[in-house]
Amino acid sequence: MSAPQPRTFDRSNLIHAHPRDVRAAARRGDLAYVTHGLARGHVQANLVIVPEDYAFEFLLFCVRNPKPCPIVEILEPGETEFTMVAPGSDVRTDLPGYRVYRNGELTDECHSIGEIWRSDHVAFLLGCSNSFDAMLERHGIPQRHLEAPDGRISVYQSNIACTPAGRFHGNLVVTMRPIPERDVVRVTELSSRFPIAHGSPVHIGAPQAIGIDDLSQVDWGAYNPLRAGEVPVYWACGVTPQAVALASGVPEMITHAPGHMFVTDLVIEEQQTA
Amino acid sequence: MSAPQPRTFDRSNLIHAHPRDVRAAARRGDLAYVTHGLARGHVQANLVIVPEDYAFEFLLFCVRNPKPCPIVEILEPGETEFTMVAPGSDVRTDLPGYRVYRNGELTDECHSIGEIWRSDHVAFLLGCSNSFDAMLERHGIPQRHLEAPDGRISVYQSNIACTPAGRFHGNLVVTMRPIPERDVVRVTELSSRFPIAHGSPVHIGAPQAIGIDDLSQVDWGAYNPLRAGEVPVYWACGVTPQAVALASGVPEMITHAPGHMFVTDLVIEEQQTA
C-alpha cells in the first residue's frame, strides 16, 4: 500500500472544482485530507466494501434501513468504476483515505487499496451528511459544528434498533445538530426532501427518548453545545452501516477513512425529491 | 402440489375484508382466482422467488430500476413470513396462484408451493399496479381496462433499456392507460406520489417514441382503444422483473400467477410520499 503523502497540496483549488478533479487529486496521492467542502454542491458518499458472501445481506440491510443507508450506487463483484455517479472513477484509488478492518479490528489505514483489491469485493456508496451540511448551509440554517476549527459533529449511539438483515443488526448511530427553535420545522421539511443525505430527522428534542443520557458525552466526533433557544435535532448517520457491519463479524471490510469521502458527480439540488 | 380448487367460493365477501382474510382464503384453497379489487385500499404485490445464488444480483436490479421494481419486502433465504407487511403470512400458501419456471420455461401452475420450497429460496414482493388502479379510481380518473369484463390492461414491450445488474438485463415492459387530455397532468402528479405502485409515467404520448409500433398489437393483456381526446400514458409494469429474470437464464423462478397477487396489510394512502 502507498505510504501517506506529505500534505503540501493546496486543497483550496478543489473547493469549486469538478468532482473528477477531486478524485484525480486523490488518485495521484496529492489529496490526503478530508473532502468536506470540496467540489461544492456535489453529493459525497460513504464507502463500504464487503466480500461477495455478505453482499446480499448488506444490500438488504441498506434497503431495510434507508435513513442511515441511502443507496447512491452499488457495484457488482470485482467492479471498480462507479459508472452511474462518477464515470471514469476507480474505487481503489479515488478516495483520499481508506480503512481496512479484519474480523472487526482496524488493521490498516491507507491512500490506495489497489494491492488488496479482489474480484469478490463488492463496493457500496451510501449517502453522507457532507451533502446534507451543504444543503442546510445554502438555506441559512446555522451549522454549529462548522464553526469549530476541526468541524467535527456530535455523534451518538442511540437505542433505536435498525431493522436487521441476516448477520447485520444493531442500533442506529445518530448525528445531533443544535437548531434554533424557529428553524426546527424548516430544517425538518428541508431535510425530508433529501433522502440521499439521510432524509428527515429521526428525533427532535430530549436525548433520553432515544437512549442518550448526556449530550456532552459523545460516542464519536465532538460535542457541539446547545445555546439558549436551541433544540437538539437528530439524524441517521452514515457511520451506522460501518458500525453494524463491524459488529456483525464480517471477516473483512474496507471503508473510507473518516471524512475522506468519495466525491460523486451528482449535483445535490438535483437529488431533491418532490 | 395441490390440485386446482373448484371455484365455488364467493369472493365478494373479500372485497372489503382485511388482507389477512384474503390470504387465509388462499391458504385454505378457497380463493383460486385473481385478487383484483379484494381487500380494497391495501397494497397488492408481485411475487418473485429466485435461488440465493441470484439474490444479490436480482436485488441490485430492483434497486437500479425502482419504477418497474418498487421494493415492498424482501425475505432472507428460506424465510417464509413477510413480517413487515403481512405478519402471520406464508409465502408458500397465501397467494391464490403460482407459476413455476425452470430454465426460462413455464413448467407448472399451482395453488401452493409448499412441496417445492427450499431453504435457498429468496422471496421478493414488488409493487403492483392493482394498488395503482385503486388509487386512480378513488381520484376519479377513468380506467378503461376496468370497464371490460375481463379487466385486462394493455401491456407492451418497450425499447427503454433497464439498467442491467449482473445476469439481469432487458427492456422495460409498460402498461398503457388511455387518459383524457384534461387529466394527464393530474394523473402524472398523483402517480408520482406512489413510488410503491410504479410512480410517475415513463412516457406520455406517441408510442413510437418508446418502440411501440402499433398500440393495437399488445404483447400481454388486451388492447384498450383510445377514444377522441384521450392520450396514451405509459407506466413501468411489474411484469418487467419477471420478463428480465426469465430472459436471464435463471434456472428456477417462482412467481404469482398473473393477477393472483400477494395482498399485504399496507394501506395504499399511507404509502404516499410528500
Angle at A253 between CA A251 and CA A255, to 5 degrees: 165
Q: Cα distance from A166 to chain B (closest Cα, Å)?
A: 7
| CA B96 – CA B28 distance, rounded (Å) | 10
Return the bridge partners of A168, or none: A165
Task: Please give the CATH topology (third level) of the domain spanning B12-128+249-269.
Answer: PSTPO5379-like (3.40.1640)
Confidence of residue A8 (pLDDT cuts 50, 70, 90): low
Q: How confident is the model at residue A241 (pLDDT cuts 50, 70, 90)?
A: confident
Nearest by Cα to B74 from B96, B52, B95, B93: B52
The pTM score is 0.87
Cross-strand pairs, A233: A177, A204
CATH for the stretch A11-128+248-269: 3.40.1640.10
pLDDT tens readout for residues B43-69: 999 999 999 999 999 999 999 999 999
Confidence class of residue B248 from pLDDT cuts 50, 70 and 90?
Answer: confident
Under 8 Å between Cβ of B72 and B45:
yes
* Contact between chains at A63 and B60 (C-beta distance less than 8 A): no
Give the pLDDT confidence score for residue A105 in this predicted structure: 87
Is A83 within 8 Å of chain B by CB?
Answer: no
On the question of pLDDT at A45 being above 50, the answer is yes
Closest residue on chain B to A55 (Cα): B56
CB contact set of B98 (below 8 Å; sequence gap of 6+): B47, B109, B110, B111, B112, B113, B254, B255, B256, B257, B260
B71 touches chain A (CB under 8 A): yes
Q: Which pLDDT does position A184 carry in this prediction?
A: 95
Nearest residue of A to residue B189, measured between CA atoms? A274
pLDDT on residue B269? 84
Substitution target in B54, B56, B69, B71 with the highest count of A β-carbons within 10 Å is B56
The minimal CB distance from B165 to the residues A63, A76, A192 is found for A76
Q: Which residue has the higher pLDDT, B270 or A112?
A: A112
- Stretch A3-30: mean pLDDT: 80
Closest by CA to B18, choosing from B269, B270, B263, is B263
| CATH superfamily entry for domain B131-241 | PSTPO5379-like domain (3.30.2040.10)
The ipTM assigned to this model is 0.81
Q: What's the pLDDT band for A159 if we cut at 50, 70, 90? A: very high
| DSSP state at residue A2 | P
Q: Residues spanned by CATH 3.30.2040.10 within chain B? A: 131-241
User: What pLDDT score does A34 carry?
Assistant: 82
Span B224-242, mean pLDDT? Answer: 92
| Residue A138: pLDDT band with limits 50, 70, 90 | confident
A70-78 average pLDDT score: 96
- Is the Cβ of B274 closer than 8 Å to some Cβ of chain A? yes
What does the pLDDT read at residue A274?
Answer: 59
Better-scored residue on pLDDT, A41 or B160:
B160
Is some CB atom of chain B closer than 8 A to the CB atom of A15?
A: no
| Cα–Cα nearest to A145, from A67, A228, A36, A236 | A36
Contacts of A192 in chain B (CB under 8 A): 274
